[in-house]
Amino acid sequence: NAGVMQNPRHLVRRRGQEARLRCSPMKGHSHVYWYRQLPEEGLKFMVYLQKENIIDESGMPKERFSAEFPKEGPSILRIQQVVRGDSAAYFCASSSQTEDTEAFFGQGTRLTVV
Amino acid sequence: KNQVEQSPQSLIILEGKNCTLQCNYTVSPFSNLRWYKQDTGRGPVSLTIMTFSENTKSNGRYTATLDADTKQSSLHITASQLSDSASYICVVSHISGGYNKLIFGAGTRLAVHP
């Protein structure tokens, strides 16, 4: 049973381009969480999704950021028109239920905007 | 406001020594408290999960304590090893909108020197 898979591990984008970050949850997990970690800082919640539903997007910036978790395929975090301040590590976690169950993290995608 | 505060921010110890990391939280309602270890450049990995009724839980050389009355937790590392060098993150699970939301502390950066 493979763990949470994120790709790419490293992504370089020029200002104004789009960044697409992918997260494949562990087999059997239908809950996905996205977090952002700025250098030297802790993880900040962005969005919580279940299959085909956004449950909580209170941590998502109002503009340029969107997330989806389709019925088939990985969860996608999409950042349009990237700016230098978007440079960070983006982590995805998955779990099978909502309460008292382990959330497993992927290795993250390190986005660098040049 | 739901917050998780960790101390110290960073810590340097010699190999073989013990250390204790602190976590104070103001999260309510509380579901469970987790300690994660995050190696540089990697995703967090769970060390322990403690519910309201648990006071102590061990995982090898790691022992976590929880005082739900004072809303404090500690992570004690015994006989430290060089591989313990990492960030240790306290995460409090909080029921919000019918689901478990994870509130992250900023972490304690531990460096174990030979």
At residue B3 the predicted structure's pLDDT band, cuts being 50, 70 and 90, is confident
Q: What is the residue whose two structure tokens read 């995460």?
A: B91
Does the distance separating the beta carbons of A102 and B49 come in below 8 Å? yes
A105: nearest Cα among A19, A28, A43, A53: A43
A27-77: pLDDT as tens digits: 888 889 999 999 878 888 899 999 889 988 989 998 999 999 999 999 999
Average pLDDT score over chain A: 91
Does the distance separating the beta carbons of B106 and A45 come in below 8 Å? no
B14-41: pLDDT as tens digits: 999 999 999 999 988 888 899 999 998 8
- Max mean pLDDT among A74-78, B42-46, B99-103 falls in A74-78
Extract the tokens encoding A21: 């970050």
Cα–Cα distance, A89 to A96 (Å, whole number): 24
At residue B93 the predicted structure's pLDDT band, cuts being 50, 70 and 90, is confident
SS3 B70: coil
Task: Identify from A43, A53, A100 which residue to disrupt to test chain B contact, counting B C-beta atoms within 10 A and taking the largest count.
Answer: A43
Nearest-Cα distance to chain A for B44, in Å, is 6
Q: Out of A41, A98, A105, whose CB is closest to B100?
A: A98
